[in-house]
Structure 1
Amino acid sequence: MAAYRAALIYMLKKLFITDFRNINSAEIDLKPGLTLISGDNGQGKTNFLEALFMVSQGWSFRSRSHDDVINWDAKECMLRVQGEIAVISESEFEQGFLLRRRRGAEVRVDSQKSTNMGELHGRYGCVYMGPEDIALVRGAPELRRRWVDVLMSKSHPDGLDLLRKFRRILRQRNSWLKTSDQNFYGDEQWFALTDIFVQLWSQISQRRAQVLEDCIPLLNEFYAEISGGAEDINLSYINGTGLELAELVSIDLQELQQILLEKMEKLKAREQIMGLTMAGAHREDFALNFSHGKDFRYNGSQGQCRSAGLALGLTAFEYTQRYFQQNTALLVDDIFAELDAKRRQSLANLITKNVKQVFAALPRTEDLPFSSDHLLQVQKGEITTL
């Protein structure tokens, strides 16, 4: 696993919300331990978790567009979180942002100002677990890429930058492939774009593979605990090279780039006909397999896939927890309802183990298989401390 950061413990202390989805105004004290967020469906429990996640990480787990999180009746929204860093002595930190419709963001991290939401990411750990985790097993490849990319961006300082650069060169390459004058530039232009494309692709692939290899022991531990089963889970990486996960981690980067370049050479004529890039980091995937090699997506029962999805969520949390040295906040959104009593209790034990701060949203308090330290109630966007 990538080298851990210095042993700092970040504790979230206060969250300020203005016109974020249906929450018009709120100032909430955030305390150590387990905080239960109760309320009927559609009242704003997930909105509260989303606000806490977004101000911590710089992006939403529900929406691609920043405009979506602004209250329908407002032109802007604001989020701000304050916290405490405990090492030998204690110091405070603060970060937040102001979003205006179609005008971008104003970001502040302590006294530093920026327009880049990415500045909020990576300062401290915050992981969201919700019903969406189950879709990781059988859902679209994009969901699994996003899962591993979030972890890659935590453990590799250049992860986010690599992904941004890759998306930029992908757009440029697709634009060139669609132009009618591509033959004017000939092989020279194709090679120039493809060379940069392959360099970025190879680095992303190798970092993703490293993350997945690090996650396999954690995934097996959590899956066995939740399901009570004895079967192991393996992860296979699908990027069209034919390399196994361990080979992809250990291969020399230049050798990997040559393999990928040869692959792009074979696709060249087809890409020019189709007008888009047919292979790359944007088309990779990983699969969960039973120890006998069968794919969970096609051979796992509903219960097995649900357990594997929750195990992936816990793996993301523990990976972040270890990397950030025990300063990860866990946001849990209604993941207990469809579990039997045994799995519910096993999952609860895993969630509360060595966690500094947990925020759990549930429509029914009886679904929570452990007692809470603090209670928030949400009703029509109004948040009350009980």
Structure 2
Amino acid sequence: MALTRLLLSNFRNICSADLKLGPGVNVFCGANGSGKTSLLEAVHMLATGRSFRSRLHKSVIQHDTGGLTVFAQLDTGFNLGVERLADGSGRIRVNQAPAESSSQLASCLPLQLINSESFSALDGGPGVRRRLLDWTVFHVEHLFAQEWKNYQIALRQRNALLRRGKIDEASIGVWEEQLALSGERVNDLRLAQFSQLETAVSQLLGELPQSLLSRVDMSYRRGWRKEVDLRSALSESRESDVSQGHTRIGPHRADIRFTVAGESAHNILSRGQQKMLVCAVRTAMAEVVCRQGDMPVFLVDDLPAELDDSNQQIFAHWVGRCASQVLVTGIDEGTTSRPWRQLDAPWNCPKVFHVEHGKISAEASAAQ
């Protein structure tokens, strides 16, 4: 799936824009602060309901305006729309009908984001890496979203009981039963896709020149001891959980570890190698989802600032195999377009847009 038309209103410094996007690579060039990243941010909001730069909707709305709107037409025939108002309210629509949640947007528009924050996966907290796996599982296993929701409900209820101090056995037993049931299902769904993801990452790293990246191992930690089932683990940890006031084990504590010869990859790999590892993981996620028939859209923010020329070319080659469309930003058009122009059609004919002071215009030759 791909975006064919994108409309923005009052999104950061972009007053308005109505863009017809190309099916392959769309390059947005301009000086720093011109609005390039804001455009990617708007597309991200269409797929998730939120910005990737701020959790506060008000900070994304253009100053002195009542609210923002983002609207897109997809080549699948779907229309997606998000409205955020300065008073904190808003609407999400799919084909002009109110959406039940932002997950409905995500299912319509699988999206991969590569920006400077993406490269924090190795040294960030477990939640950062856990979300990488969950994105993959969400787009492959349709039962996952509901099971994860059920787990979160039970988790909140158990935590509320733990904070009371005096535990009613019957009450907490009910929620631990639900927590264990949904938690085991979540874990099983994650395990199945982790195996696929691990294989895909290994294959991509195998295409790189021989280096420490060839020795990277991935492992999945489910969030509680392997020797026991979740129901037993919850019962065993109840007393210590009461003292802490929250549930300290379960799928919400899961993690993916990246190691080299048993040591954390973050401590062994160079910064450039870490970035290529993250690119391989993100691409592998897209490949796993692509096997189900959904080719994601990639948002790539200023790749020349993150990777050298040879690694840019490798990454572009990877993305060209599993993406439906790419929106990429950069300061210089030639440098930003170069990795893509060396690929086969349709990737080698980027549609170029120029961004200046929040105004976006298609390059004349590309518009024809």
TM-score scaled by length of structure 2:
0.87
Aligned to 1:120, what secondary structure does the other structure show?
Answer: helix
- 1:117 and 2:94 equivalent? no
Structure 1 position 39, deviation (Å): 1.2
Cα distance in 1 for residues equivalent to 2:204 and 2:34: 32
Change (3 A) 1:285 1:219: same
Cα distance in 1 for residues equivalent to 2:58 and 2:187: 32
- 1:308 and 2:277 equivalent? yes
**Among residues 37, 42, 45, which one is paired with 1:46 in the alignment?**
37
The residue identity in structure 2 corresponding to 1:362 is G
- After superposition, residues 151-300 of structure 1 pair within 5 angstroms as 151-180=136-165, 182-183=166-167, 185=168, 187-226=169-208, 228-229=210-211, 231-243=214-226, 259-290=229-260, 292-300=261-269
Structure 1 position 334, deviation (Å): 1.6
TM-score scaled by length of structure 1:
0.83
Task: Provide Cα deviations, 1:291-350, integer angstroms capped at 9, x if missing partner.
Answer: x4433133333232222111112112222333234x432211123324333222222222
1:37 is matched with 28
The residue identity in structure 2 corresponding to 1:385 is A
Structure 1 position 265, deviation (Å): 1.8
1:361 is matched with 329
Change (3 A) 1:240 1:55: closer
Work out whether residues 133 and 313 of structure 1, in 8 Å CA contact, stay in contact via their aligned partners in 2: no
Cα distance in 2 for residues equivalent to 1:353 and 1:201: 34
2:288 is matched with 319
Structure 1 position 59, deviation (Å): 4.0
The residue identity in structure 2 corresponding to 1:164 is K
Which structure carries more relative contact order (alpha carbon 8 Å, separation 6+)? 1
Aligned to 2:69, what secondary structure does the other structure show?
Answer: strand
Runs of 5+ unmatched residues, structure 2: 342-348, 364-368
Aligned to 2:33, what secondary structure does the other structure show?
Answer: coil
Cα distance in 2 for residues equivalent to 1:65 and 1:206: 34
Change (3 A) 1:324 1:61: farther
Work out whether residues 13 and 31 of structure 1, in 8 Å CA contact, stay in contact via their aligned partners in 2: yes
Of residues 204-213 and 50-59 in structure 1, the stretch that sits farther from structure 2 once superposed is: 50-59
Change (3 A) 1:224 1:133: farther
Work out whether residues 223 and 255 of structure 2, in 8 Å CA contact, stay in contact via their aligned partners in 1: no
Cα distance in 2 for residues equivalent to 1:43 and 1:333: 13
Work out whether residues 169 and 197 of structure 1, in 8 Å CA contact, stay in contact via their aligned partners in 2: yes
Task: Provide Cα deviations, 1:19-45, integer angstroms capped at 9, x if missing partner.
Answer: 122222111111112111111222221
Cα distance in 2 for residues equivalent to 1:72 and 1:175: 39
1:336 is matched with 304
Cα distance in 2 for residues equivalent to 1:15 and 1:236: 39
Structure 1 position 380, deviation (Å): 2.4
Aligned to 1:231, what secondary structure does the other structure show?
Answer: helix
Of residues 45-54 and 100-109 in structure 1, the stretch that sits farther from structure 2 once superposed is: 100-109
Aligned length: 353
Cα distance in 1 for residues equivalent to 2:146 and 2:13: 33
The residue identity in structure 2 corresponding to 1:208 is R
Cα distance in 1 for residues equivalent to 2:329 and 2:187: 35
The residue identity in structure 2 corresponding to 1:157 is H
Work out whether residues 227 and 343 of structure 1, in 8 Å CA contact, stay in contact via their aligned partners in 2: no
The residue identity in structure 1 corresponding to 2:292 is Y
Runs of 5+ unmatched residues, structure 1: 1-9, 86-91, 244-255
2:357 is matched with 380
